[in-house]
Amino acid sequence: HRPLNWDKLYEVQFTDLPPNATKAEMVAKYTLPKATKTAGLRELRLEDVDQALALFNRYQSRFDIVQKFTKEEFIHWFINDKNVVEQDKRVVFSYVVESEGKITDFFSFYSLPFTILNNSRYKDLGIGYLYYYASDADFKFEDRFDKEGTSLLKQRLSTLVQDACIIAAQNKMDVFNALSSQDNTLFLEDLKFGPGDGFLNF
């Protein structure tokens, strides 16, 4: 879990106040920048699908268990039709980074809010979940575990996922969740994700 709105999470008893810490300190710890950092970051569009899917497939090929999307499935899951889905009811949020006409990065997350019971101030808890992503940051290295390549990928994913957290917060999500799958372990600690008490199998 990565708190986006710590004060609300505390008030609805989603999180506790650590010993020897103040509420102000916790709010400051988890405060994010107001704007995203990545140049060329924008929402995924239909005309990006061929490039984004090729990037996604190449990136995912490093893993032993992967999801194979057809082009039609990729469009279905990741393209948001604003004419059909109201902005405040969106489920999947998908973004790409474009540099000189080339899609270099892709990330997505989805919204799954919870209903809050017995709270006079809040009725729901906005929860974002990191979904699929891809980056070409280490593609020039033949060895997937090359130290320099891993360092570059870590830096890139850290920036991208922080931007995802910022966008999630802008869309009224209060906490951002991620599993320990894909390359998530490269950035979870640095981006102030904390372990939950759940255990999931892929």
Asked whether residue 198 is domain-assigned, the answer is no
- The range of the structural domain enclosing residue 45 comes to 2-186
Q: What is the pLDDT along the chain (202 residues), one digit of tens a residue?
A: 999 999 999 999 999 999 999 999 999 999 999 999 999 999 999 999 999 999 999 999 999 999 999 999 999 999 976 655 566 678 999 999 999 999 999 999 999 999 999 898 999 999 999 999 999 999 999 998 999 999 999 999 999 999 999 999 999 999 999 998 899 999 999 999 987 655 555 5
Asked whether residue 194 is domain-assigned, the answer is no
Asked whether residue 192 is domain-assigned, the answer is no
Rounded to two decimals, what is the model's pTM? 0.91
Alpha-carbon distance 149 to 122, whole Å? Answer: 44
CATH number, domain with residue 166: 3.40.630.30
Asked whether residue 106 is domain-assigned, the answer is yes
What is the residue type of 169? A
> Is the CA virtual torsion 152, 153, 154, 158 positive or negative?
positive
Asked whether residue 130 is domain-assigned, the answer is yes
18 to 13, 29, 31: CA distances (angstroms): 13, 12, 17
| Residues 134 and 78: beta-carbon distance below 8 Å | no
Q: What is the mean pLDDT of the chain?
A: 92
Segment 37-95, tens digit of pLDDT: 999 999 999 999 999 999 999 999 999 999 999 999 999 999 976 655 566 678 999 99
Alpha-carbon distance 146 to 152, whole Å? Answer: 10
Asked whether residue 199 is domain-assigned, the answer is no
Asked whether residue 90 is domain-assigned, the answer is yes
Asked whether residue 196 is domain-assigned, the answer is no
**CA Rg, the chain, in Å?**
18
